[in-house]
Amino acid sequence: MIAPDWMKDIAWDDNGLLPVIVQEAGSGDVLMFAWMNREALARTVELREGVYWSRSRGKLWHKGEESGHTQKVLDIRLDCDRDVLLLKVEQTGGIACHTGRHSCFFHSLVDDRWDEVEPVIKNPHDIYK
């Protein structure tokens, strides 16, 4: 894959990865954090859907490929240091987290413990077959 010129402006880490914050355009909620390599970013731009690099699986991961909860990408922004990406998305089905919740950020530090403060919208066993 030949990288387009604009991709050369990105400060990729030593592993060729870029951290990505995914924000719901309508609500402003931060839905998830992920990683992209050059191919994932190119596919995201091409499809206008979230495609990420799964470090645990060592492969591309098209968000929603199993669950159907895809992310329509409305805006792609690079931070001032050019080393973090922000995607503004429309989240299909309202579920971004593999736990069946709206956001992956559902643990809140309350006193001296982590509380789950967002409900499960759909049981993950019903999402992933």
Q: How many CB atoms lie within 10 A of CB 125?
A: 8
pLDDT given at position 71? 98
pLDDT means per 10 residues, the chain with 129 residues, are 84 97 98 97 97 95 93 98 98 94 96 96 88
pLDDT given at position 4? 79
Could you tell me if residue 94 is left (phi over 0), alpha (psi between -120 and 50 degrees) or otherwise beta?
left
Who contacts 49 (Cβ-Cβ below 8 Å, separation ≥6)? 62, 63, 64, 70, 71, 72, 73
pLDDT given at position 128? 84
- Nearest Cα neighbor of 91 from 29, 19, 40 is 29
Which pTM was predicted? Answer: 0.92
Looking only at the bridges linking them, the beta strands covering 71-78 and 85-91 are antiparallel
pLDDT given at position 116? 96
pLDDT given at position 2? 67
Taken in order of first residue, the domains within the chain and their CATH numbers are 16-120 (3.10.20.810)
